[in-house]
Amino acid sequence: MTDAPDIEAGRLLFARQWRFVLGAPDPDALPPARGREVALVGRSNVGKSSLINALTGQRGIARVSATPGRTRELNFYSTDGEFFLVDLPGYGYARGGNAAWAGVLRNYLYGRPNLRRVFVLIDARHGLKPNDLEVLDLLDRAAVAYQAVLTKADKLKPAALAAAREKVAAAIERRPAAYPGILVTSAVSGTGIAELRAAIAGVAT
């Protein structure tokens, strides 16, 4: 359970005015590594854009599309130019194949010394898929700390949601770079948004 001071820290961080900074189509276009970064990654259509809008409380700061794979850039958001939230392209429907996408992710992970944590978004209805596991393997090899975040929790009944959470927790329990604790969220109902804000705020300073 997240403590009240952490919840408040998360609320204060995301009460600020967030803005889109830039979109980098490839690693060569990335801004200089400064301050601190956290990144969101997940399969196409996992709900990253909706979650970013819910986190910031700014509808439309991240474009939501019903077409999988629309986010093809590394999109940077910030409040102060010192802490960045990075939306990585979704995988599974990437143009040019997943091998090309994996190359972009690999270059980003190994080239960002200011990256503090990656939040791996997993659709609660579907659980971990083979391409999710490939990303977890890559994060483990890169020694980048990551935390699993279930999305679309409103689509499942409580018992099914609890089972999905336990299954993901068991799958990552012994992974070397996995941060303990599975976050459960819904951009529709607001479930878990405060806890995810708190987790992000915890690595922002």
Q: Taking 50 as the threshold, does the pLDDT of residue 80 lie above it?
A: yes
Per mean pLDDT, which range of 37-46, 106-115, 144-153 is the poorest?
106-115
Distance CA 144, CA 159 (A): 32
Tell me if 62 sits within 8 A of 17, measured CB to CB.
no
Where residue 99 falls among pLDDT bands split at 50, 70, 90? low
Average pLDDT over residues 28-43: 92
Distance CA 195, CA 181 (A): 11
Higher pLDDT, 97 or 165: 165
As a whole number of angstroms, the distance between CA 137 and CA 143 comes to 10
pLDDT at position 93: 57
**Would you say residue 77 has pLDDT above 70?**
yes
Average pLDDT, the chain: 90
The yes-or-no verdict on residue 69 having pLDDT over 50 is no
Domains of the chain, with CATH numbers? 4-201 (3.40.50.300)
Residue, of 60 and 31, whose pLDDT is higher: 31
Global confidence as pTM: 0.92
pLDDT band with cut points at 50, 70 and 90 for residue 98? low
Mean per-residue pLDDT for 141-165?
97
Among 72-81, 98-107, 177-186, the range with the most confident prediction by mean pLDDT is 177-186
pLDDT attached to residue 195? 98
- The whole-number pLDDT of residue 60 equals 81
Check pLDDT > 70 for residue 2.
Answer: yes
Of residues 37 and 99, which shows the higher confidence score?
37
pLDDT of residue 96: 47
Is 204's pLDDT higher than 70? yes
Sheet holding 146-151, edge to edge: 19-24, 74-78, 83-87, 36-42, 115-123, 146-151, 183-184
pLDDT at 103: 79
